[in-house]
Structure 1
């Protein structure tokens, strides 16, 4: 196939036979697999079926599956001569990787829920600009939901330079890159000196930002320590301790809304989102922009009980990570999983200035695949 990802050159085919609906294959190592005819015609890599530059599919398999081909081997690889005269050739290693029973291969790490005494991975700023260092940073972020970069320069827009090594910055109503510091006439609690309880950013968007980067340029004020909690870990603790509270927060959608003079962004979604298998896949939790609760009267008290229980667990020292960012350090975290906050600080004791931006998770996963392919 005309693809960029490699496949093994070994495991050549020793036998191929075509039936009415599938081609049966046997490799040199004894592995066997059957591929439906329509699948093979759909994946033909020839220039008639795939664009030579984009590698995109050019045909739609409709009746071709009824055209039983002649199957033969050429130097251990599969050749199919279809009844309509079309010829398809497949590398044995490519087919071996894609056996219907074979597990999908991916360099992306499985997520790992935090345990007690979780310590985030730290990557040196200079190492980030090497393939090994960047891969370690990406793997930790995708696996743990949080990673630290340290030893960086105190340079304006460094957070943007780092972000754009991965992909384009995700703009929001606060811009593509934003400054986190106390300022007059704030339109968000982050731009004050008050303490911020644990939250996720922008749950009022249908698609909240996936990944947040916060780069510390100054942190001389008293207080202002950063707080984090793994929302997936705490949601599972809630499910174990109070299944009914978990059910209410995962099944009942509520309103989230941000308003100022120029913006009014709102959506409706549950606090805990699960997939079809019941696996927690997203947390939306932000007490500042939780809008008026619109529920049937009989659901309100139970919902508040569940919300209070989740709040208490989130802010329990058992589940919190607490540290002060030093100038030149950057924390990156999964905004749809890891909740963040900070302790109050006193701006009269020194300056505190962080710069932040957002990235799409798709770009992180893409970058890690490319690095794995290049390695």
Structure 2
């Protein structure tokens, strides 16, 4: 190959036999992948340019193609993990010029590259289509959507959740999209919340254990274990990695009061940004101390109330007035922080942004604890019993479960 000159194109029709790209994601025709066929493949300098029948085209660097070879020498045939080591490839220096690739051939469904060292790499055309550089690869996961006025959580029957993948997919999708979802008409059995959680992944343990009971108890070490009203909050913001997903399963709820309330922290943060940008900046740029302490634990962290991702979008809310520790800030920043905190709290209390409901026995609420704030009204334990069981799940396991279901 000489610099600036295209490779000779060779059409090698191999039929419809798909190429195993060492992953389980759907990328083949007829399995959720695009129906477009590969029409041309031209190698030039350090890249291969591919064009498909629907008009899409993409340039793929040679080093990227070599790194993504899926043959048994480059990917473990059982684990699908990468075996190829780019640091040890003697051809690597040639990728900067035009000497790494010996030839290429393609058909409507595949691309085959022969490297100068004799190694052969074959690629499924549908797999390449989904991974054109510059094109966003579909995640198979719903995009988190801020609540609008009048929002109501989706309800899924317990029988549908345990009985078929469609019902479970709806439940998981709603939880990932809205941060809040209901499960209705389940059995009033101890540990049912554990069984539901473990059908998705292992329960996330904390200093309160793997599964916890929410009811009024003597000598409580947490406000949840009293009968008092609970202001909107997120759980365990004093952890470096607070629990992602919380499940609360109602077993008994005969006491007067105790209604549950929820608010979308991401939506509230965006309202704060629009109405009081200085307050938003203070809460997103100022780390403060959160701390939980009892006879056996003292867990603390310093983080902002609103955490942003690389694009400046809310990624996590840490709001729990009970376990804010001493506000340790320079004197000239203390008043501004309190003003910002009050402004955010006032937005969270707006009724149009809240969902209020009374959990019935056999009903479970699930919510994103790092996005959705939850609270409850005070209840009178002398008027009846109120018993919820709860646990936490990692977001990674929830996302993994939906990807598996989508296959």
TM range, smaller chain: over 0.9
**1:47 correspondence with 2:81:** no
Q: How many angstroms does 1:237 deviate by?
A: 1.2
Determine the structure 1 residue equivalent to 2:193: 159
Q: Find 1:349's aligned residue among 383, 387, 390.
A: 383
Paired residues in the alignment total 373
Structure 1 residues 313, 32: CA separation in 2 closer, same or farther (over 3 Å shift)?
Answer: closer
Q: How many angstroms does 1:16 deviate by?
A: 2.1
Superposed counterparts of 1:1-375, under 5 Å: 1-9=21-29, 10-62=35-87, 63-65=90-92, 66=94, 67-73=100-106, 76-129=109-162, 130-373=164-407
Q: Deviations over 1:202-239 (max 9, x none)?
A: 00000000000000000000000001111111111111
Q: How many angstroms does 1:101 deviate by?
A: 3.6
Contact kept? 1:38, 1:64, Cα under 8 Å = no
Partner Cα distance (1:262, 1:19) in 2: 66
Once the two structures are overlaid, the 10-residue window that deviates more, 274-283 or 216-225, is 274-283
Q: How many angstroms does 1:69 deviate by?
A: 2.9
Contact kept? 1:160, 1:357, Cα under 8 Å = yes
Once the two structures are overlaid, the 10-residue window that deviates more, 352-361 or 93-102, is 93-102
Q: How many angstroms does 1:90 deviate by?
A: 1.1
Once the two structures are overlaid, the 10-residue window that deviates more, 10-19 or 84-93, is 10-19
Structure 1 residues 82, 305: CA separation in 2 closer, same or farther (over 3 Å shift)?
Answer: same
Q: Secondary structure at the match of 2:101?
A: coil
Once the two structures are overlaid, the 10-residue window that deviates more, 259-268 or 229-238, is 229-238
Q: How many angstroms does 1:269 deviate by?
A: 0.3
Partner Cα distance (2:275, 2:58) in 1: 46
Contact kept? 1:12, 1:77, Cα under 8 Å = no
Q: How many angstroms does 1:103 deviate by?
A: 2.7
For normalisation by structure 1, the TM-score amounts to 0.97
Contact kept? 1:14, 1:76, Cα under 8 Å = no
Q: Secondary structure at the match of 1:266?
A: strand
Q: Deviations over 1:334-353 (max 9, x none)?
A: 00010001000000000000
Structure 2: 5+ residue stretches without partners: 1-20, 30-34, 95-99
For normalisation by structure 2, the TM-score amounts to 0.89
Partner Cα distance (1:113, 1:30) in 2: 35
Structure 1: 5+ residue stretches without partners: none
Contact kept? 2:174, 2:181, Cα under 8 Å = yes
Q: Deviations over 1:110-138 (max 9, x none)?
A: 11101111111000000011101000000
Q: How many angstroms does 1:313 deviate by?
A: 1.5
Determine the structure 1 residue equivalent to 2:16: none
Structure 1 residues 279, 85: CA separation in 2 closer, same or farther (over 3 Å shift)?
Answer: same
Contact kept? 1:24, 1:32, Cα under 8 Å = yes
Q: Secondary structure at the match of 1:288?
A: helix
Once the two structures are overlaid, the 10-residue window that deviates more, 289-298 or 100-109, is 100-109
Partner Cα distance (2:156, 2:169) in 1: 10
Q: Secondary structure at the match of 2:27?
A: coil
Q: How many angstroms does 1:76 deviate by?
A: 4.5
Contact kept? 2:145, 2:178, Cα under 8 Å = yes
Partner Cα distance (2:145, 2:51) in 1: 37
Partner Cα distance (2:192, 2:121) in 1: 50
